Structure 1
Amino acid sequence: MKVPKNRRVYVIGYGAATPLGATFVKSWERAVRGEAGFRKVTRCEVRTLSDVVGEIPDWDPRALDFVDEKELYNWNAAFVILTMAVCQEALRHAGLPMDSGTAPRTACLVGSALNGLDAFRIAVNRLEQKGPRHVSPYLLPNLCANVPAGKAGILLGFTGPIFSPQGACASGNHAIGLAARMIRDGDCDFALAGGVEMPLLPEIILGFANMTATVKVSSRDRAWQNPALASRPFSIDRKGFVLSEGAGVVVLAAEEKLATYGLRPRAEVLGVGWASDAWHFTEPNPETIVRTIREAIEDAGLGVADIQYVNAHGTSTPKGDRVEVECLKEVFGTRLKDIPISANKSQIGHTLGAAAAIDAALTIEGMQRGILLPTINYLPDPELEAYDFVPHEARRQQVELALSNAFGFGGTNCCLIFRGVS
């Protein structure tokens, strides 16, 4: 194998679709206003107290310039077309042209926790109701984890490596970390990296509800009359996460390609830390989480005193939030009281495989604008001490070095360090 080039890697653009908006711009505008994107589920009918979800508002694939009725019918796994749309937005935001010089050197890594289960559900229904000849010949491609990236390549013209990092709810960070290493080593010059999830199906909603992972909104809950209050990371009355759909993709570039193509650096991917728990399929392991955070800081060539902000995994589960704070305290010690910590899931909910990539884009935009997004719906929990969770509303504060955490089912952990570029 050839000798690695050891190049620096920069984020030059991003796209997203979240419960706050069908584009990154719309999502950011509402996030800064401290809004939440939650409502009673409309994607399907399901009887459960865990029926408050995060749906992408006004998501209409037919409005996209590359979609017709045949495309929509054949590609009925919603994560396929959503990935194409967000990759298109990200490339436009980055200003990266696809030509004979860039296309072969552009990779695409988009992870997902659940992939195309909606297409499988449609196939089962057609089989039961109409018979075997009505199962779509597109079923298997709709289920393939790499196909959304492949379809984005067909749309946008890049021909570098494509694959789907499967890291559950840390998939987005795994994608960014792997893509950054590929660019660093010289395997490609550019990459679209992120995650996508369209999980709002009855079986998925009920599965999470029955494992007591998602919040149950009863008449005694403060979100009963206002679903916007359902997700409340680090709050004393947190009861589980809000299941959401969404996608996030960041565009990465090698340092020496910035000037060549007139690209604007927005942040540098400075450090990557990853580990597995060998502990439990859902419960976090503090020892390996602490190690992951420390390794990300070490990989960045920094010390713990350098980190100025933490974008938390912050799912709003009682144990998950407590363990994350305990791990941050183990890493940062008494200095943690001086580090702002915010949880985007208070506004967006948990988009599973897309969550970390959306968090990354929001963190970087915040560093660009000198804004820390809030942890809304926060009520202090004495067990978590008086840490700065950026409660309730966005804050004007400039930070240069940020830690972004992501942890997932199966005991998978991936943390990133970003350095903002002004």
Structure 2
Amino acid sequence: DFVNAYVLGNVGATGTMIGACATFLYNLKLACDDIRSGKRRLVIVGTSEAPLEPEIVEGYNAMTALITEKKLRQLDGLTTDSTQKTQFHNASRPFAENAGFTLAESSQFFVLCDEELTCELGLSVYGSVGDVFIHADGYKKSISSPGIGNYITLGKAMAAAKRQLGEQALLSGSYVQAHGSSTPQNRTTESKIFASLAQAFSIKNWPITAIKAHLGHSLASASADQLFTTLGAWSEGILPGITTSPQIADDVNQNNLRFILQHEKFDPEAMPLAFLNAKGFGGNNASCYIISPQKTHEILQQGMTEKDWLSYQKRNVSIRQNIRAYDEAMSANKIKPRYHFDSDVLDPSDLEINANEIRIKGVAKSIQL
């Protein structure tokens, strides 16, 4: 309720779903489903996670899931009597020789709109959500172990993307933002999923990257980190590499895959498609495909008359100016955080109620019943 009560003053519909490390993608699916059904036209979707607490660290340590200084020094070949400093900035090493993940904190929120409202308001487009797929694992040995569900989610995402954008976009214009948690189990199981599906869809040298190399694992917000990095890659024309991993581990399946170990410049026009993959404890598997802003603009333009498209571009000019001004002011520390505690608090006396609608004091539009 923090966002609704203290930031936005929102009385609209709310919804949430928890799915371990796939939580953000679960909520992204809720948002997309609501928009596509016509129930909502604009949705703010996001997650916030702050797990850097002693109890949480102790819990994951009990599972031997976290990297420790001792493990990290062993990976780097440093003896206990060595005076060489521990390389903490390289602690998270997806798909390399690794020994556990690094906890992180993150808060990411995104605004989703239907196509008509986007054009009507002249909003800037950073990409679009193709679809999100979620599946359980079925029978397996333990709750925390991975199963077959992630094969299904990613396979469905790839097939749906192929149907929407064509085979060539999948074969030569896509890459994967992997879950890449930096654990020995993840590096073998997730790479096997990618290799199996790349073979099934006849993909060669499929680019694979993992942003946890730089940000660590923010648990519920992890796939949100993957999304904002994906949008940023298209904006800047740079694919972030797994630069903390000196080389891919021997037990990682690299068939038909190309793990990106250095940052790479690329042409966003030639890369219209990105897949986000999330593997959470408890059979919480989710995968989605994201469409580039360039391709999204192309799709929008195809559904509009030339006059309407030019009108949208004209409205977008002032929006982009506002975005630039806000970014500059925020970077210069001229904007304070938006926090309205005990401000414009609503109570029942602010409502006008009849059998057809409810009106809220200070709000122009009524709520239809």
CA-to-aligned-CA distance 1:335-394 (integer Å, 9 cap, x gap): 554211100000000000011112111101212332211112222222225432210334
Alignment of 1:17-416 (within 5 A): 147-151=1-5, 154-218=6-70, 219-222=73-76, 225-235=86-96, 237-278=97-138, 279=140, 280-285=142-147, 287-300=148-161, 301-302=163-164, 306-307=169-170, 308-333=174-199, 335-378=202-245, 379-386=247-254, 387-398=257-268, 399-416=271-288
In structure 2, C-alpha distance between the alignment counterparts of 1:225 and 1:392, rounded to whole Å = 22
In structure 2, C-alpha distance between the alignment counterparts of 1:350 and 1:304, rounded to whole Å = 33
Q: How far 1:170 sits from its partner (Å)?
A: 0.3
Q: Which runs of 5+ in 2 are unaligned?
A: 79-84, 295-369
Partner of 1:83: none
Distance 1:181-1:188 versus aligned 2 partners, 3 A rule? same
In structure 2, C-alpha distance between the alignment counterparts of 1:299 and 1:160, rounded to whole Å = 31
Query: Secondary structure of 1:165's partner?
Result: coil
Partner of 1:114: none
Query: Secondary structure of 2:179's partner?
Result: coil
In structure 1, C-alpha distance between the alignment counterparts of 2:121 and 2:98, rounded to whole Å = 47
Q: Which runs of 5+ in 1 are unaligned?
A: 1-146
TM-score (norm 1): 0.61
Contact 1:368–1:420 (Cα < 8 Å) also in 2:
no
Q: How many residues align?
A: 272
Q: How far 1:216 sits from its partner (Å)?
A: 1.9
In structure 2, C-alpha distance between the alignment counterparts of 1:389 and 1:395, rounded to whole Å = 15
Q: How far 1:206 sits from its partner (Å)?
A: 1.0
Contact 1:329–1:336 (Cα < 8 Å) also in 2:
no
For the aligned residues, what is the CA RMSD? 2.0
CA-to-aligned-CA distance 1:118-165 (integer Å, 9 cap, x gap): xxxxxxxxxxxxxxxxxxxxxxxxxxxxx23433xx422333211222
CA-to-aligned-CA distance 1:162-189 (integer Å, 9 cap, x gap): 1222011001111111101111111111
Contact 2:26–2:286 (Cα < 8 Å) also in 1:
yes
In structure 2, C-alpha distance between the alignment counterparts of 1:304 and 1:405, rounded to whole Å = 20
In structure 2, C-alpha distance between the alignment counterparts of 1:304 and 1:196, rounded to whole Å = 36
Q: How far 1:402 sits from its partner (Å)?
A: 0.7
Amino acid at match of 1:178: L
Identity of aligned residues (%): 29
Contact 1:274–1:296 (Cα < 8 Å) also in 2:
no
In structure 2, C-alpha distance between the alignment counterparts of 1:304 and 1:239, rounded to whole Å = 37
Q: How far 1:411 sits from its partner (Å)?
A: 0.7
Contact 1:304–1:331 (Cα < 8 Å) also in 2:
no
CA-to-aligned-CA distance 1:286-305 (integer Å, 9 cap, x gap): x2211111122334435776
TM-score (norm 2): 0.69
In structure 1, C-alpha distance between the alignment counterparts of 2:135 and 2:91, rounded to whole Å = 31
In structure 1, C-alpha distance between the alignment counterparts of 2:204 and 2:91, rounded to whole Å = 26
Query: Secondary structure of 1:191's partner?
Result: strand
Partner of 2:319: none
Q: How far 1:247 sits from its partner (Å)?
A: 1.3
Amino acid at match of 1:364: L
Query: Secondary structure of 2:258's partner?
Result: coil
Q: How far 1:317 sits from its partner (Å)?
A: 0.7
Amino acid at match of 1:393: H
Contact 1:315–1:345 (Cα < 8 Å) also in 2:
yes
Contact 1:231–1:347 (Cα < 8 Å) also in 2:
yes
Query: Secondary structure of 1:273's partner?
Result: strand
Distance 1:167-1:304 versus aligned 2 partners, 3 A rule? farther
In structure 1, C-alpha distance between the alignment counterparts of 2:154 and 2:30, rounded to whole Å = 17
Q: How far 1:217 sits from its partner (Å)?
A: 2.0
Q: Which stretch shows the higher mean deviation, 363-372 or 246-255?
A: 363-372
Contact 1:311–1:359 (Cα < 8 Å) also in 2:
yes
Amino acid at match of 1:210: A
Query: Secondary structure of 2:251's partner?
Result: helix
